[in-house]
Structure 1
Amino acid sequence: MSDSVITPKEAAPRLSSLFSRAYLFGTLMLGGGIMLHAVETYITATLMPSIVRDIGGLPLFAWATTIYVAASVLGSTFVAVRPKSVTLNRCYVFGAVLFGIGSLVCAIAPTMETVLVGRAIQGLGAGFLVALGYAFIRFVYPEPLWSTASTLYAAVWGIATFLGPTIGGIFAAGSAWREAFALLIPLSILMAVSAPKLLPSGEAERVTTKTPFLQIVLLVAAVVVLSFASSVDAPALRSLFAASAVVAIIAAITIERHTEARLLPAGTMRLTSPLARVYLIMLMLLVTICSDIYIPYFLQVLHGVTPLVSGYLVALLALGWTAAAFATANIRGRRANRVIVGGALVEAVATALLVVTLARHNPAGSLPLLAIATVFIFLMGFGIGLGWAHLVTHVLHLAPAGETDKASAAITTMQALGAAFGAAIAGIIVNTTGLVDPGGTEGAVTAARWLYLLLAIPAALGMLLATTLPTGKATSAD
């Protein structure tokens, strides 16, 4: 499939087009699947302190996220390598059912270990639902609406950023975390029942390959090992885990280049492939944005901000992503590539400038300094949001014939890997540069400076790669 795009002369569709009679139910189902995943992500983050207070398991706290992300990689991969007899709308049913089962397990969990089992099942279902959101775009909407549909997903995440903590906070305040998980079960059932009726089957000619089992195992292992590296205290052990993760990633890439059982579309293991560069840009932008996981901590420790306020301040990042996605939804052609480059630059600069704003001790709670830091938090999200929908559109246009499902599912895989690697790398940086030792205010300042300085680099590299994206006819395996 070529990477031809709508020329600027053509009238750009509006977001409201997605809610016209022809596309309304498809929009509600696809947006609903992503909303279910997004809201649950923020609900769980808010509920985890209540969960560990109730049933214990503080040492396993971080694994509630790690195991969820790892399982979502598996779910998104199945969408691409599913048997020919399994249609996309049937995959949607599987995903919704798995999400509901995982929520039920979490709701009745007597121990943290059981919660982790539920989170793994939830993550598997979420991987299905998010991957299908992208895979269904070409079946539900005509080509001029592809970029607009991607913008809608950004809007969903923005809404979830505010809904999730609010819902989670309400249930957490009453120690009703089990009820919060139970609330997701009927929604999952409704979506599973509705999928065969409201979504097309999604059948199309596609290239089928064997399941890329080895690559999946190696990538999941890399995520898990990096998570260990971010949490251990001994520098030597941390280095060993980090090196092991690098070895696992290299092994996965090597196998992917020489096997017929591929995880990614053909040709995407070479930087000469435009599609490979799009995926790499996505990954780098996400690694940088995941430095946000420590923003609430630094706001509270260095600036004296309350936990509730710090949660909503970091939510401005997602709001920035959503605002930028709406602002650039109608851009097409060469201008879209310029927006991707500019967005990566904004994200890199905003992240780096947190070194001199957020990474400072502000015991008096100076509002001007805090306000400037807040602007840069917003701009981090704004930067990635400027180009994300256009990167998604590039993937759909550049996918080789018969491999669009695999290319679409790989977007979710990149999201999951970017989030997992970004969080783990952030943990390694802060734990190595003083967050724990010497700790306190001094350690927090040093750790914050190194974190935002180093994690601005991936976005800067993504900007350089974005200057090489095609604007004319090309294929992913050139």
Structure 2
Amino acid sequence: MSSIENTASNPSSSVFALFSPKLLPATLMLGGGVTLYAVESYITATIAPSIVRDIGGLELFAWMTTLFVAAGVLGSITVATRPKGMGLRAVYVAAAITFGVGSLICAVAPLMPVLLVGRAVQGYGAGMLSGLAYAFIRFVYPEVLWRKASTLYAAIWGVATVLGPTLGGLFAAGGAWREAFIVLVPLTVIMALSARWLLPAVADDRSDTRTPLIQIGLLLAAVLFVNIASTVEHGSYTVLLIAASIVLVATMVAIERKSDTRLLPYGAAMLGNPISRLYLTMFMAMMVLTSDIYIPYFLQTLHDVTPLVSGYLVALVALGWTVAALLSASFSGKQAAIAIIAGCILETAATASLIPVLATATPFDAVARFAPAVVAMFLMGFGVGLGWAHLVTKVIGITRRTEQDKASAAISMTQSLGGAFGAALAGVIANGAGLTHPGGIAGGLSAATWLYALMAIPGLIAIVLSFTIRPASA
């Protein structure tokens, strides 16, 4: 097995060691893949109105995101279920080319259905690139840097929350939404061509390469249902779709427990196993964090904050994630375990604190009035960032070597699923609490109160789970 790890002697434990001459090429390639996935998610959300105005298809508006997310989950699964003997480097090349092809289809799409095909192809490639970043960690970096690499990937998602909408706004302002896709094509070509020289060739050490088609089908259906649930207007349909999603996921977990052909690493479907609790903690943390999607609405409707300012205020969530990830990068052992617990507590407390902060009709016309909101939003992201890299490192560290590709792919999958279910649940709560009926100030006050009260519950579950994570597995 060829690995950059073998060439790195006495590596520094600093995050800057990822950018040392020997590791820089691989860091750029893997970090670049995560960046494409993260930034593109936010760019397209920003330019979507421009796309609809140009080529129509308003009735299919939500599917631009739905197909991208669902295909991304399938892409991350592909990293672990690829054909036997296919190395990770070959998967990277295929992923970069797939993402580029999808971007090209989007750029030339004359109608919305064609663009949706491109978004699905894009999402599939992006999902593979994101999953590969975690799959390559153990081959590219010495173990002392695994946590630092995970920190870097977490920080990229935080930065993308600000960078993506900014870039998307620039393209949308000039009516150049096609250019937002076309600029990605040469970049992906460069990435595909560079992979042979900048990424190590590693042996395929998986013991089981059979494809769990039933579990994949159930999971994809659940993702589609929950994404559709976040877009439908009738509350009863939304509840039914989410309930169906939960049933599908439960069925998938039940099959995982008994099947010899698994989608997840051994033990991930059994709550008594530590790796199951690690994934579940990640899932709950992402669910809670996704409740921030309604913050701009509450800021604008209840507190007279301009759209531009509200956008930058919500970016504090991403800033908090990035700052915490960098601050906790050097933690290990008991420190890492404490960081996970403290992170879950901070995120949950910050979410609940948004009730008195946002559920008022007071204009934020002075620093003293919006300062509590600033602190709460920052701490939401800070809590997740404080423990995320340590959860990732623990997953990779306790998984059997022959199943580490599955474990790595499941990290990206868990992140996407948590976001999808969180967005759908937030929509159900907000709409059920009166966001649209009666709407206005009264509806906003009720929705803000119920949303952040109920979305703190998954955070409480994450806190309980975090106390079961043993420092010895760090």
Instruction: Give the TM-score of the pair, scaled to structure 2.
Output: 0.95
Whole-angstrom CA distance in 2 between matches of 1:359 and 1:67: 33
Q: Which amino acid aligns with 1:38?
A: A
Q: In the TM superposition, what whole-angstrom CA distance separates every residue of 1:103-133 from its partner, at most 9, and x where no partner exists?
A: 1111111222222211111110111000000
Aligned ranges 1:459-478 → 2 under 5 Å: 459-472=459-472
Aligned ranges 1:154-165 → 2 under 5 Å: 154-165=154-165
Tell me the CA shift for residue 319 of structure 1: 0.9
Q: Which moved more, 1:308-317 or 1:272-281?
A: 308-317
Whole-angstrom CA distance in 1 between matches of 2:12 and 2:443: 50
Whole-angstrom CA distance in 1 between matches of 2:304 and 2:51: 25
The answer to whether structure 1 residue 260 and structure 2 residue 260 are counterparts is yes
The answer to whether structure 1 residue 368 and structure 2 residue 368 are counterparts is yes
State the match for 1:130 in structure 2.
Answer: 130
Are the structure 2 counterparts of residues 38 and 235 from structure 1 closer, same or farther at C-alpha, using a change threshold of 3 Å?
closer
Tell me the CA shift for residue 11 of structure 1: 9.9
Are the structure 2 counterparts of residues 110 and 423 from structure 1 closer, same or farther at C-alpha, using a change threshold of 3 Å?
same
State the match for 2:197 in structure 1.
Answer: 197
Q: SS of the residue aligned with 2:472?
A: coil
State the match for 1:153 in structure 2.
Answer: 153
State the match for 1:112 in structure 2.
Answer: 112
State the match for 1:383 in structure 2.
Answer: 383
State the match for 1:73 in structure 2.
Answer: 73
- Indicate if the aligned counterparts of 1:46 and 1:172 stay in contact, CA closer than 8 A: yes
Whole-angstrom CA distance in 1 between matches of 2:19 and 2:266: 35
Q: In the TM superposition, what whole-angstrom CA distance separates every residue of 1:86-107 from its partner, at most 9, and x where no partner exists?
A: 1001110111111111111111
Q: Which amino acid aligns with 1:323?
A: V
Aligned ranges 1:329-344 → 2 under 5 Å: 329-344=329-344
The answer to whether structure 1 residue 444 and structure 2 residue 448 are counterparts is no
Q: In the TM superposition, what whole-angstrom CA distance separates every residue of 1:13-48 from its partner, at most 9, and x where no partner exists?
A: 111111111111011111111111112112112111
Whole-angstrom CA distance in 2 between matches of 1:367 and 1:59: 41
Q: How many residues align?
A: 465
- Indicate if the aligned counterparts of 2:87 and 2:204 stay in contact, CA closer than 8 A: no
Q: Which amino acid aligns with 2:36?
A: L
Q: SS of the residue aligned with 1:197?
A: helix
Whole-angstrom CA distance in 2 between matches of 1:234 and 1:392: 38
Q: Which amino acid aligns with 2:72?
A: S
Are the structure 2 counterparts of residues 445 and 31 from structure 1 closer, same or farther at C-alpha, using a change threshold of 3 Å?
same
Are the structure 2 counterparts of residues 209 and 231 from structure 1 closer, same or farther at C-alpha, using a change threshold of 3 Å?
same
Are the structure 2 counterparts of residues 170 and 230 from structure 1 closer, same or farther at C-alpha, using a change threshold of 3 Å?
closer
Whole-angstrom CA distance in 2 between matches of 1:429 and 1:112: 30
Q: Which moved more, 1:155-164 or 1:332-341?
A: 155-164
List alignment gaps of at least 5 residues for structure 1.
Answer: 1-9
- Indicate if the aligned counterparts of 1:136 and 1:202 stay in contact, CA closer than 8 A: no
State the match for 1:219 in structure 2.
Answer: 219
Q: Which amino acid aligns with 1:213?
A: L
State the match for 2:429 in structure 1.
Answer: 429
Q: Which moved more, 1:46-55 or 1:233-242?
A: 233-242
Whole-angstrom CA distance in 2 between matches of 1:252 and 1:387: 27
Tell me the CA shift for residue 204 of structure 1: 4.2
- Indicate if the aligned counterparts of 1:358 and 1:370 stay in contact, CA closer than 8 A: no
Whole-angstrom CA distance in 2 between matches of 1:242 and 1:168: 30
Q: SS of the residue aligned with 2:272?
A: coil
Whole-angstrom CA distance in 1 between matches of 2:237 and 2:18: 51
Are the structure 2 counterparts of residues 189 and 404 from structure 1 closer, same or farther at C-alpha, using a change threshold of 3 Å?
same
Instruction: Give the TM-score of the pair, scaled to structure 1.
Output: 0.94
State the match for 1:297 in structure 2.
Answer: 297
Whole-angstrom CA distance in 2 between matches of 1:103 and 1:473: 41
Tell me the CA shift for residue 282 of structure 1: 0.4
The answer to whether structure 1 residue 168 and structure 2 residue 157 are counterparts is no
Tell me the CA shift for residue 154 of structure 1: 2.1
Tell me the CA shift for residue 364 of structure 1: 6.0
Tell me the CA shift for residue 152 of structure 1: 1.2
The answer to whether structure 1 residue 101 and structure 2 residue 101 are counterparts is yes
State the match for 1:271 in structure 2.
Answer: 271
- Indicate if the aligned counterparts of 1:288 and 1:459 stay in contact, CA closer than 8 A: yes
State the match for 1:31 in structure 2.
Answer: 31
State the match for 1:310 in structure 2.
Answer: 310
Whole-angstrom CA distance in 1 between matches of 2:152 and 2:220: 29
State the match for 2:394 in structure 1.
Answer: 394
